[in-house]
Amino acid sequence: MKSSGKMRNDEGKLSLDILIGLTIFLLSFIFIIQYIPAIFASERSEIYLYPLTYRISALLVEDPGYWSNGSVNGTDWEKYYTQQNVEVRPGLMGSQVNVLNPEKIDALKNLYLSAGKDGIRKALGLETPDRVFGFNISLQLLSSNSSNLRYSTYGGQPMLLIGDPIPDWKNVAKYERIIAFENTTSVSNISSKVDTPNTVNYEFNVDTPVGSFVIVITGRNDNQSATEPWMRVDINRVRVIDVTGNETIDTFDLTGEINQYSGTVNVDVQVHNVRGYVISTNAGEYIGGRIVAKLVVAVW
């Protein structure tokens, strides 16, 4: 029996939805294939850089450095780096790990000025046969960050800032180490001795922001027959400390109170029958009896 209707044959045909889906899939696949190598290249670069920044920071804060002229050598490289035919590997460590010698810090700055970036790269191992690394090494206050850089300064100049500005368009590895300065007096703008059986007035004019302003009273004056010790401190004529007797024997950190003001701040200190000293510095913060900052090493 013959059918009067026409037969339809849909075999081998693809719908429009499938074609669109396959097109989107292929375009996405091509894009991903092109993008993946860039991702892994970036990751490989960063993985390679971070151990390098750690190594440089460790060399600087965990080792005193060395010098050698082929027959004689030593760790006091800061005294010999200017001599001819002397190989130097700078280190900043003083009496112990993470405690930096200010003389070595000055020597590293001067080495940078005389030998340039290429000389520092060679001394710190930042140049290989197949790559020359960019670098930036600095000492900064603990409160410093990328949006508000605050360098450790002395005499109005950064204590250590060498290398190129850190670029925004490259992969940069950064490592920070908390350090202390070996000699508090050598990095302080003021280190005034306070030692009197009488009533004495000390006046300080402090430019803000200050890294640290601390009054340290270590004990009574040797004149034990004098009256009870006392201390009064005014900041811009506002009384902030008024203590007597044993309460006077203490450490008084006025950094926060002073930095509430802007410009030059007047600090008036009146003491009686005490022994101690005053520290004012922009090299770092006063913590545990030392001036503390951070070494920041960036490599790209």
Q: Are residues 105 and 203 in the same domain?
A: no
The predicted pLDDT at position 175 comes to 95
| Between 90 and 222, the higher pLDDT residue | 90
Q: Is the domain of 62 the same as that of 172? A: yes
242, 269: one domain:
yes
Q: Are residues 76 and 103 in the same domain?
A: yes
What is the pLDDT confidence band of residue 233, given thresholds at 50, 70 and 90?
Answer: very high
Full DSSP string of 56-106: HHHHHHS--EEEE-SS-EES-GGGTTTSTT-EEEE--B-SSTTEE-HHHHH
Could you tell me if residue 287 is inside a domain? no
Residue 144 to residue 294: CA distance in whole angstroms: 9
Structure confidence at residue 67 (pLDDT): 95
Q: Who has greater pLDDT, 27 or 67? A: 67
Of 8 and 186, which is predicted with more confidence?
186
Q: What is the pLDDT of residues 46-60, one digit of tens each?
A: 577 899 999 999 999
Domain identity same for 68 and 177? yes
Residue 205 lies in a domain: yes
Name the least confident of 22-36, 56-70, 228-242. 22-36
Q: Are residues 81 and 171 in the same domain?
A: yes
In this structure, the answer to whether residues 166 and 200 fall within a common structural domain is: no
Closest CA to 161 of 296, 49, 300, 281: 296
Quote the domain boundaries for residue 206. Answer: 190-281
Bridge partners for 100 per DSSP: 93, 181
Q: Could you tell me if residue 43 is inside a domain?
A: no
SS3 percent helix, strand, coil of the chain, rounded to 5, is: 30, 40, 35
208 and 245 in a common domain: yes
Residue 47 domain-assigned (yes or no): no
* Dist CA 275 CA 217 (whole Å): 6
pLDDT at 149: 94
Q: Are residues 235 and 220 in the same domain?
A: yes
Q: Do the domain assignments include residue 169?
A: yes
Q: Judge if 195 and 111 occupy the same domain.
A: no
CA distance 279 to 191: 5
Are both 82 and 131 inside the same structural domain? yes
Phi, psi (deg, nearest 5) at residue 240: -115, -20
Tally of domains within the chain: 2
- Is position 133 within any domain? yes
In a domain, 35, yes or no: no
Q: Are residues 168 and 99 in the same domain?
A: yes
Which of 30-39, 122-131, 171-180 shows the highest mean pLDDT? 171-180
Instruction: Measure the CA–CA gap between 36 and 34, rounded to whole angstroms.
Output: 6
- Residue 19 or residue 164, greater confidence: 164
Asked whether residue 36 is assigned to any structural domain, the reply reads no
Answer yes or no: are the C-beta atoms of 173 and 230 closer than 8 Å: no
User: Region 160-165: what's the mean pLDDT?
Assistant: 96
What CATH number is associated with residue 232? 2.60.120
